[in-house]
Structure 1
Amino acid sequence: MDTNRLIPLLSEMAIFVNVVDSGSFSNTAKKLGVSPSSVSRSVTRLEEALEEKLLERTTRQMRLSSTGQEVYQLCSDMLNSAKLAVSAAQSDRSRISGPLRVAAPKALSRQVLMPMILEFIETYPNILLQLKVADHYIDPIGDEVDVIIHITDAPTEGLVARKITQYRLVACASADYLAKHGTPIHPEDIASHNCLCLGENPRDRVWEFTNNQKKVSVNVSGSFTVNHSEIRREAVISGIGISVFPEFAIQQYLDSGKVIEILPDWHVGGRYQGQVVAQYPQSKFIPAQIKTFVDFIQEKFREQ
């Protein structure tokens, strides 16, 4: 059997070993988080590819055929070799060491990056990580920072830029607030609502919306102004008014129904949205801790 036909069977072989070791399809299914029928199909595909019956099954029991015993042993050896390969790769983590200085925006650090960073510290204990949280521009050279993570559609020129993910801004309110005051159906309707702003500069009271070629700017006002997304979010959940948040700061509350997105067909303009980019100085030799950290964070976002 050539390699192209063999590679797709590797996962089937691993499942076959799990079935034999656990003693049933259902036990393997629970372990892998799939259905018993999916496990059964994997074993059947392996048998069909090898043109041999590996398991003799009845309604009450299951046992290996003579060919199945030999195939099981070889597949088990393969799985053990794979485990050794993973162990060998993980053992290199102890060799990655040294200081690592990372800068990132406050809200993104607190609400998204921290669990990833804590896991990174546990995974690479010999890296000495210093996190600098700041919403203003960080100069990696002047501020002595190795990696900057920021939200921007215009990455800093002259630096390596690795896109991690992308976020948009979301206008939202609680169901209670909308029930009492009505749901805006056009951006201009927001002018009559209690809008909770950042208050960092006068432009924070001008909310901009676009829909294809349509552009609408709305002067808003409200009873509460605060430049802290978590405090503002609590006010919105409590039914105080409408506000705008970066997607990462509000997504779980949208999912749970604690808040409701308004004007979903309109794009909300403003800061704190766009690409999440990791940047570091260009160099022929990138320190291992920098590359390892950026790869790690990128993979964690990919998993999400």
Structure 2
Amino acid sequence: MDTNRLIPLLSEMAIFVNVVESGSFSKTAKKLGLSPSSVSRSITRLENALEEKLLERTTRQMRLSTTGQEVYSLCSDMMNSAKMAVSAAQADKSEVSGSLRVAAPKALSRQVLMPMILDFIDAYPNVALQLKVADHYIDPIGDEVDVIIHITDKPTEGLIAKTLDECRLIMCASPSYIEQHGMPIHPDDIAQHNCLCLGENPRDRVWDFTHSLKKISINVSGSFAVNHSEIRREAVIRGVGISVFPEFAIRSYIDSGEVVEVLKDWHVGGNYQGRIIAQYAQSKFIPGQIKTFVEYLQQRFQA
């Protein structure tokens, strides 16, 4: 196929890659700002030009044909090369600029990252930053995110990982609650208290404790459950019960005396603890705005 016929197909190939990765014509259309019929026509034009069926479609599912699998692999390589070309151009810029898409958990974004991000925007006005706030797993490729920030001890494989800080879980109650109900001195005591859980799944009502080589799991119950740390924190401050928080969400309230730490000598298990990590795709050319942003966060967390 000569160049004149090939060039118009490049956009169709890019749409084809998006369809395969999203698994849906409608999702691709929404992502690219096109109509589903336009996406369908692009795939048809590509198939007609290649004289091969790439996608086998029914009313309920879609899958790649044998030829489609090979074409997808090559088209995906083409897209990655295009992204590297853009990254190479941006990496050479002396002035930090360009778009930057960041994903991070809700509570961490609201209570820790936002001041840093707003300061970064002030310091680098030529960077257009988009923040995606979500607690579920973010795929940096499929979700088109440049940097993912999450709390984990198991970084996503295949991505560069930069540790920003550490985060542990802390169990807390208000002084008034402790005065009325007593201070637990052993995890077994927790079962007798009003425990405020996330309520996202049944496992949230099982709290795990470790101390040296001892491990204890306690089934807890309580009058209130909410998967929002600020709301749950307000309930604890008002003396409703005992709950567990990431350290960044509760440390200032411990320091002020509004809440007190419970079972200090025991490690509380659960989600939202571990290393706070920034991750981004490995590449020979890392865009300047990505490197600068991650380095900026590292400096702020270490300050």
Fold match (TM-score > 0.5): yes
Query: Partners in 2 of 1:208 and 1:103 — Cα distance?
Result: 29
- Aligned-residue offset at 1:96: 1.0
Q: How does 1:1-304 map to 2 (within 5 A)?
A: 95-303=95-303
Aligned to 2:191, what secondary structure does the other structure show?
helix
Query: Partners in 2 of 1:146 and 1:95 — Cα distance?
Result: 19
- Aligned-residue offset at 1:94: 8.3
Q: Aligned-pair RMSD on alpha carbons?
A: 1.2
Query: Partners in 1 of 2:148 and 2:190 — Cα distance?
Result: 36
* Residue in 2 that maps onto 1:35: none
Query: Contact (CA 8 Å) 1:94, 1:124: kept in 2 or not?
Result: no
Whichever residue aligns with residue 134 of structure 2, its letter is A
Whichever residue aligns with residue 169 of structure 1, its letter is L
* Residue in 2 that maps onto 1:67: none
Taking structure 2 as the reference length, the TM-score comes to 0.69
Whichever residue aligns with residue 265 of structure 1, its letter is D
Which deviations, in whole Å up to 9, do the C-alpha atoms of 1:21-65 show, x marking residues without a partner? xxxxxxxxxxxxxxxxxxxxxxxxxxxxxxxxxxxxxxxxxxxxx
Aligned to 1:150, what secondary structure does the other structure show?
strand
Aligned to 1:172, what secondary structure does the other structure show?
strand
Query: Partners in 2 of 1:247 and 1:99 — Cα distance?
Result: 31
Query: Contact (CA 8 Å) 1:94, 1:125: kept in 2 or not?
Result: no
Higher relative contact order (CA 8 A, sep 6+): 2
Which deviations, in whole Å up to 9, do the C-alpha atoms of 1:65-107 show, x marking residues without a partner? xxxxxxxxxxxxxxxxxxxxxxxxxxxx982110000000000
Which deviations, in whole Å up to 9, do the C-alpha atoms of 1:194-237 show, x marking residues without a partner? 00000000000000000010001000000001110000000000
- Aligned-residue offset at 1:133: 0.4
Whichever residue aligns with residue 269 of structure 1, its letter is G
Query: Partners in 1 of 2:96 and 2:196 — Cα distance?
Result: 46
Whichever residue aligns with residue 127 of structure 2, its letter is I
Query: Partners in 1 of 2:235 and 2:207 — Cα distance?
Result: 19
Whichever residue aligns with residue 257 of structure 1, its letter is G
Shift >2 Å, 4+ stretches: none
Query: Contact (CA 8 Å) 1:152, 1:273: kept in 2 or not?
Result: yes
* Residue in 2 that maps onto 1:88: none
- Aligned-residue offset at 1:117: 0.2
Aligned to 1:198, what secondary structure does the other structure show?
coil
Taking structure 1 as the reference length, the TM-score comes to 0.69
Query: Partners in 2 of 1:151 and 1:242 — Cα distance?
Result: 23
Whichever residue aligns with residue 300 of structure 1, its letter is R
Query: Partners in 1 of 2:190 and 2:259 — Cα distance?
Result: 16
Query: Contact (CA 8 Å) 1:94, 1:126: kept in 2 or not?
Result: no
Query: Partners in 2 of 1:136 and 1:278 — Cα distance?
Result: 16
**Aligned CA distance change for structure 1 residues 290 and 110 (closer, same or farther; 3 Å):** same
Query: Partners in 1 of 2:153 and 2:253 — Cα distance?
Result: 26
Query: Partners in 2 of 1:193 and 1:164 — Cα distance?
Result: 35
Query: Contact (CA 8 Å) 1:207, 1:269: kept in 2 or not?
Result: yes
Aligned to 1:112, what secondary structure does the other structure show?
helix
Which deviations, in whole Å up to 9, do the C-alpha atoms of 1:135-180 show, x marking residues without a partner? 0000100000000000000000000000000010000100000000
